[in-house]
């Protein structure tokens, strides 16, 4: 027996945080055992570094028995199975051209060919883990070498069938193998051997200086007794997250996405149960609804479940009274009726409480049913003065004008027709009947109409509900499209939509079909139509705003029920949708934006708005779509988790029964990635010191804010390499900008430009000062390393392109410095923008990151017109935003600025009048908006030469710039920006778990 130890230290790639990976192997003629030491999380490079040694071992002349042992439990990356990790990472290395020296070149070629072309045999499940010999080891798998290779191939083949829709790669191509391997790595880096939901402990993984606060805590008031349930996120006790496996939570969400389970509405079911047969008025048309009511009374005598968690609400009173009437109508369940009346009597004060949330039209419907109860001879254990109080509220509701027009009032009264009974003009009500036979897709309104008119189409609609749901009915039907779109929207707002990409694509395909066929379910409802348009557009579906034309004028809102109720949620949906605009000529979306924003502002100023939505309205108006950052939005939405939609309902409705799972997944995902960001920040600080940027006193070096600028948009943890490259070049371009903006002398600037032009041959020139040496070496060495990392993914050298983009930037800065020194003003905006588009220095940030996000970027792609347009419009947005916010300061410094050029009289000289400045600023803002629209169109459209993940980086940069220059140059007012950076990188979550949506209502 003999032993050998193989060690490898990843010193050339310190940014991956794999500073000392040791692989220890003990081999005999018949077996080999090896394990990892000092294994730490850190993205693709981590897996690649570890697999380097494991790969050498696996392809060497080794015994037939191989045992893999795992990593310390403190690591967030655990080995699910040795075969799976090695298989995915091995093919990743082979496909990307990573070639460590093999023991035998012929064997290497054979192994690569086998992995690429062999068909996977059917394999038995891997054997269970053996007893661990050390508490530091978390996973053990044993298998033969042949099995190991077969499992590798099998894993990759399986993964290749789950490629993202936009990839469409041949299953046996090397590109498909590479993409599948990367996908497998991402999967395994978020799972551990026990399939427990991975929650990284801020105390365990993050250096002490980053532990600013305790781990996030989720609280929820329990339904009974006011007991509070607490769920710790992170640390050793993960509470609910430890009790629910991540896959099980995802399965619950997928079940809802594939066909959301409806929440029965006791109120609507009761009204359907009251419909009599046409020829036998003493027999219910839908006896199954009556049976359901008998089977679903609560212990306290009520019907329904209050989503707010308390035992009594107006909604429960409404549902209970409706169920009592339905049973009394058919003389069924006398004991049920008695208990229901007792419940109403005990809790009648809730109906009078103006602080209690009320369903739409409560005063009219509840009082109308009290009239029916009196007519049936039912005795309510309620004082007459209380009943009189309810009818006083009814009179107030009937006499008020509401916020809409006469048409809006008529629509609203038709919507709550069951509360008006014989007072209603039913012929007028039937004018609102839809193609499916319903009124407003509301079972209760349709049932009331059927009782009074026996309309065949209304009865047919109700019959279809009874057959479909077997007894109970929902509060709204059809609602499938709206419910699913709400879930898609929620998943995106919570930051976990990438886990459900295939289900989301299916939902959007279905919605697109409905949109193209002009289906009533989507097009007639204001909230559904708006949400559908927004989600379809941002996901690349080719639709025009013509489908929103019937909402282009404010009258569409004023004349609707939404307008009568001053519906803020629908206005917010319309306003958000209006911002998904791709051209100046889209007057439909411009009109919607204009009137919806005006009405939202009026609601705020007039105080005619629920206090609970005021913060949402203020935030939405302040931060338009182009100035929102995803990770900030995710944190805000997690901490203020709501699922309530914008549809108008008379009884409780929960669009998803997976709310707890959605929140738990979002909290875990955010907390896990936040730990990765904190490690990245630690590395970036060490990198700043290593390349001596901290010695440049003239430079603004702010790694936290620059990391925030990318983590807030390019947030998945597996994009660590791309984020690091983005941040490094953001820091470098800022330092270089400061160098040309007064930090360097003319001689130093010329020396720096000459060095950049020489690049690899810079030694031929030399440095004229220490600051030039520090700055150039930082740019050179950092981008050499970035290019080396990118070459592994791109299968080619990208250094020349990166250097060329940097050179263009430096030349643009030098030209502007010369203009300032010579007090020269360009004759035209075209001349100015030739330098300004480069000097804004966005290319050196976005391009290297684009090479590292995953998809291949060939030379043909980066030379394409589409790529050129993406870069051009991003640069225009960035340069002009900067100019608008800094023109006063730059004019005083003698620097050229687009606002100044536009404001100068013809000929380029003279005094700048305030009116000319104001006009020039408006013209520049208009140019910004035009480029922003075009950039968004290029990024969001389906197809294109540049892969969408790469295109999105240009839009991300545009959004970051819009935030940075929202009010003034953020570098000079860092307080608010620092707060936002802390929120994404350092500050733990403080979410509150909402009430579960379960059971009947």
Q: pLDDT-based confidence at 978, cuts 50/70/90? A: confident
* pLDDT value for 355: 79
Q: pLDDT-based confidence at 690, cuts 50/70/90? A: very high
Q: pLDDT-based confidence at 992, cuts 50/70/90? A: low
DSSP 653: -
The CATH architecture of the domain made up of 266-469 is: Alpha/alpha barrel (1.50)
Tokens read off for 480: 């499938």
Q: CB of 658 within 8 A of CB of 255?
A: yes
Taking the CA atoms of 297, 302, 308 and 311 in sequence, report the sign of the dihedral they define: negative
Is it true that 479-652 and 717-970 share their CATH fold?
Answer: no
What percent of the chain shows pLDDT beyond 70? 70
Query: What integer is the mean pLDDT of 849-877?
Result: 95
pTM for the full predicted model: 0.76
How big is the chain, counted in residues?
1001
Phi and psi at residue 68, in whole multiples of 5°? -110, 130
Average pLDDT of the chain is 76
Contacting residues for 281 by C-beta, under 8 A, at least 6 apart? none
Question: Which region among 578-587, 752-761, 887-896, 948-957 has the lowest average model confidence (pLDDT)?
Answer: 887-896
Report the C-alpha gap between 952 and 855 in whole angstroms: 12
* pLDDT value for 967: 57
The CATH architecture of the domain made up of 479-652 is: Alpha/alpha barrel (1.50)
DSSP 261: P
What would the 3-class secondary structure string for 66-133 be? EEEECCCCCCCCCCCCHHHHHHHHHHHHHHCCCCCCCCCHHHHHHHHHHHHHCCCCCCCCCCCCCCCC
* pLDDT value for 592: 97
Tokens read off for 146: 């042949």
Query: What integer is the mean pLDDT of 955-961?
Result: 94
Query: What integer is the mean pLDDT of 111-124?
Result: 31
Q: pLDDT-based confidence at 979, cuts 50/70/90? A: confident
* pLDDT value for 271: 96
> Is residue 112 pLDDT above 50, yes or no?
no
* pLDDT value for 888: 82
Q: CB of 712 within 8 A of CB of 631?
A: yes
More reliable by pLDDT, 446 or 225: 446
Q: pLDDT-based confidence at 485, cuts 50/70/90? A: very high
Domain edges within the chain: 4-130+137-188, 266-469, 479-652, 717-970
> Is residue 37 pLDDT above 60, yes or no?
no
Question: Which region among 485-499, 635-649, 824-838 has the lowest average model confidence (pLDDT)?
Answer: 635-649
Question: Which region among 31-40, 556-565, 985-994 has the lowest average model confidence (pLDDT)?
Answer: 31-40
Query: What integer is the mean pLDDT of 922-938?
Result: 95
Query: What integer is the mean pLDDT of 274-279?
Result: 92
What percent of the chain shows pLDDT beyond 90? 52
How big is the chain by its Cα radius of gyration, in Å?
33
CATH class for domain 717-970? Answer: mainly alpha
* pLDDT value for 360: 87
3-state secondary structure of 620: helix
Q: What are the CA-CA distances from residue 988 to residues 494, 675, 835 (Å)?
A: 15, 10, 43
Q: pLDDT-based confidence at 462, cuts 50/70/90? A: very high
Q: CB of 199 within 8 A of CB of 233?
A: yes
More reliable by pLDDT, 776 or 386: 776
Q: CB of 662 within 8 A of CB of 497?
A: no
* pLDDT value for 307: 53
Convert the pLDDT of each residue in 900-915 to its tens digit: 888 877 545 556 777 8
Q: CB of 527 within 8 A of CB of 645?
A: yes
Q: pLDDT-based confidence at 184, cuts 50/70/90? A: very low
State the DSSP H helix or E strand holding residue 329, giving kind and residue range, or none if neither: helix 314-329
Query: What integer is the mean pLDDT of 860-876?
Result: 96
Taking the CA atoms of 321, 326, 331 and 335 in sequence, report the sign of the dihedral they define: negative
Contacting residues for 293 by C-beta, under 8 A, at least 6 apart? 266, 269, 270, 273, 303, 323, 326, 327, 333, 336
Q: CB of 1001 within 8 A of CB of 309?
A: no
> Is residue 328 pLDDT above 90, yes or no?
yes
Contacting residues for 41 by C-beta, under 8 A, at least 6 apart? 17, 75, 76, 77, 189, 205, 676, 679
> Is residue 875 pLDDT above 50, yes or no?
yes
Contacting residues for 996 by C-beta, under 8 A, at least 6 apart? 657, 659, 660
Ranked by mean pLDDT, the top range of 24-33, 485-494, 660-669 is 485-494
Phi and psi at residue 631, in whole multiples of 5°? -70, -35
Q: CB of 744 within 8 A of CB of 772?
A: yes
Convert the pLDDT of each residue in 44-63 to its tens digit: 444 444 444 344 334 333 33
Query: What integer is the mean pLDDT of 693-715?
Result: 93
Tokens read off for 208: 């002490």
3-state secondary structure of 220: strand
Please spell the DSSP secondary structure of 330-383, one letter per residue: TT--HHHHHHHHHHHHHTTHHHH-TTS---TTHHHHHHHHHHHHHHTT---SS-
Q: CB of 667 within 8 A of CB of 216?
A: yes
Query: What integer is the mean pLDDT of 114-132?
Result: 33
3-state secondary structure of 798: coil
> Is residue 893 pLDDT above 70, yes or no?
yes
Ranked by mean pLDDT, the top range of 114-118, 192-196, 618-622 is 618-622
Nearest CA-CA partner of 244 in 876, 620, 668, 579 = 668
Please spell the DSSP secondary structure of 565-579, one letter per residue: TT-HHHHHHHHHHHT
DSSP 650: S
Question: Which region among 125-139, 243-257, 464-478, 646-660 has the lowest average model confidence (pLDDT)?
Answer: 125-139
Report the C-alpha gap between 487 and 22 in whole angstroms: 45
> Is residue 137 pLDDT above 80, yes or no?
no
Report the C-alpha gap between 365 and 416 in whole angstroms: 7
Q: CB of 325 within 8 A of CB of 274?
A: yes
Report the C-alpha gap between 330 and 92 in whole angstroms: 70
């Amino acid at each position: 027996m003999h032993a050998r130890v193989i060690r490898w230290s990843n010193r050339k790639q310190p940014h991956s945080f794999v500073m000392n990976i040791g692989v220890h192997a003990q081999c005999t003629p018949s077996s080999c055992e090896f394990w990892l030491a000092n294994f730490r999380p850190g993205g693709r490079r981590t897996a690649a570094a570890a697999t380097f040694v494991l790969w050498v071992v696996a392809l060497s002349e080794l015994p037939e028995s191989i045992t893999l042992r795992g990593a310390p439990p403190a690591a967030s990356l655990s080995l699910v199975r040795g075969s799976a990790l090695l298989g995915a990472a091995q093919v990743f290395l082979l496909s990307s051209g990573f070639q460590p020296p093999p023991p035998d070149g012929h064997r290497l070629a054979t192994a690569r060919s086998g992995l690429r072309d062999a068909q996977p045999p059917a394999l038995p499940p891997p054997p269970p883990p053996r007893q661990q010999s050390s508490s530091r080891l978390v996973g053990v798998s044993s298998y033969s070498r042949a099995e190991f290779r077969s499992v590798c191939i099998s894993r990759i083949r399986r993964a290749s069938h789950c490629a993202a829709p936009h990839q469409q790669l041949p299953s046996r191509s090397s590109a498909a193998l590479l993409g599948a391997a990367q996908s497998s790595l991402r999967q395994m880096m978020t799972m551990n051997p026990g399939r427990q939901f991975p929650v990284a402990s801020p105390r365990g993984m993050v250096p002490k200086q980053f532990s600013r606060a305790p781990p996030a805590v989720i609280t929820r008031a329990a339904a009974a007794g006011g007991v509070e349930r607490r769920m710790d996120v992170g640390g050793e006790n993960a509470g609910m997250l430890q009790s629910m496996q991540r896959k099980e939570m995802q399965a619950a969400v997928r079940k809802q996405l594939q066909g959301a389970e409806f929440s029965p509405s006791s109120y609507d079911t009761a009204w359907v149960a009251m419909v009599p047969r046409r020829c036998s008025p003493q027999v219910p048309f839908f006896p199954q609804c009556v049976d359901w009511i008998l089977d679903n009374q609560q212990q306290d005598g009520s019907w329904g479940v209050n989503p707010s968690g308390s035992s009594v609400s107006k909604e429960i009173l409404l549902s209970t009274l409706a169920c009592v009437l339905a049973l009394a109508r058919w003389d069924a369940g006398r004991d049920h009726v008695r208990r229901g009346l007792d419940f109403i009597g005990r809790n009648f004060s809730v109906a009078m409480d103006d602080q209690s949330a009320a369903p739409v039209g409560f005063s009219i419907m509840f009082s109308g049913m009290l009239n029916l109860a009196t007519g049936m001879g039912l005795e309510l254990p309620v004082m007459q003065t209380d009943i009189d109080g309810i009818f006083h509220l009814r009179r107030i509701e009937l006499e008020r004008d509401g916020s809409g027009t006469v048409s809006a009032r008529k629509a609203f009264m038709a919507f709550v027709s069951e509360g008006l009974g014989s007072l209603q003009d039913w012929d007028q009500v039937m004018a609102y009947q839809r193609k499916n036979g319903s009124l407003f897709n509301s079972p209760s309104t349709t049932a009331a109409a059927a009782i009074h008119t026996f309309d065949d189409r209304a009865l047919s609609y109700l019959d279809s509900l009874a057959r479909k749901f077997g007894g109970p009915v929902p509060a709204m039907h059809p609602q499938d499209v709206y419910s699913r779109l709400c879930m898609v929207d929620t998943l995106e707002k919570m930051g976990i939509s990438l886990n459900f990409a295939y289900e989301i694509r299916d939902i959007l395909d279905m919605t697109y079909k409905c949109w193209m066929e002009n289906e009533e379910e989507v097009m007639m409802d204001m909230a559904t139509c708006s949400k559908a348009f927004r989600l379809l557009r941002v996901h690349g579906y080719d639709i025009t705003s013509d489908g929103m034309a019937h909402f282009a004028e404010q009258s569409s809102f004023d004349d609707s029920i939404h307008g009568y109720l001053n519906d803020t949620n629908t206005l917010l949906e319309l306003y958000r949708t209006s911002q998904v605009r791709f051209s100046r000529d889209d007057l439909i979306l411009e009109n919607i934006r204009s009137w919806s924003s005006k009405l939202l502002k009026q609601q705020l100023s007039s105080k005619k708005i629920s206090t609970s939505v005021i913060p949402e309205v203020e935030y939405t108006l302040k931060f338009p779509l182009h100035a929102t950052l995803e990770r900030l939005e995710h944190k805000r939405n997690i901490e203020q988790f709501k699922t309530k939609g914008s549809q108008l309902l008379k009884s409780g409705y929960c669009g998803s029964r997976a709310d707890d799972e959605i929140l738990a997944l979002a909290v875990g995902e955010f907390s896990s990635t936040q730990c990765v960001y904190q490690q990245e920040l630690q590395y970036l600080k060490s990198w700043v010191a290593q390349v001596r940027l901290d010695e440049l006193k003239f430079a603004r070096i702010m790694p936290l804010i620059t990391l925030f600028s990318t983590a807030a948009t390019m947030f998945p943890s597996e994009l660590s390499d791309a984020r690091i490259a983005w941040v490094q070049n953001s820091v470098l371009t800022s330092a270089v900008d400061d160098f040309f903006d007064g930090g360097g002398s003319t001689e130093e600037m010329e020396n720096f430009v000459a060095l950049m032009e020489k690049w690899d041959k810079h030694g031929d020139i030399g440095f004229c000062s220490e600051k030039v040496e520090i700055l150039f070496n930082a740019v050179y060495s950092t981008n050499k390393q970035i290019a080396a990392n990118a070459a592994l993914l791109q299968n080619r050298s990208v250094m020349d392109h990166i250097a060329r983009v940097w050179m263009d930037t430096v030349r643009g800065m030098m030209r502007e410095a010369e203009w300032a020194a010579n007090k020269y003003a360009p004759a035209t905006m075209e001349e100015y923008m030739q330098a300004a588009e480069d000097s804004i220095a966005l290319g050196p940030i976005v391009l290297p990151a684009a090479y590292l996000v995953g998809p291949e970027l060939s030379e043909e792609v980066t030379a394409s017109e589409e790529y050129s347009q993406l870069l051009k419009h991003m640069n225009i947005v960035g340069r002009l935003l900067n100019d608008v916010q800094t023109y006063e300061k730059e004019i005083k410094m003698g620097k050229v600025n687009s606002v100044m050029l536009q404001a100068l009289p013809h000929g380029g000289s003279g005094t700048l009048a305030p009116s000319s400045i104001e006009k020039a600023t408006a013209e520049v803002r208009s140019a910004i908006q035009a480029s922003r629209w075009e950039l968004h169109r290029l990024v969001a459209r389906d197809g294109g030469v540049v892969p969408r993940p790469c295109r999105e980086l240009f839009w991300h940069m545009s959004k970051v710039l819009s935030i940075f220059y929202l009010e003034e140059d953020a570098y000079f007012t860092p307080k608010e920006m620092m707060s936002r950076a802390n929120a994404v990188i350092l500050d733990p979550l403080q979410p509150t778990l909402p009430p579960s949506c379960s059971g009947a209502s």
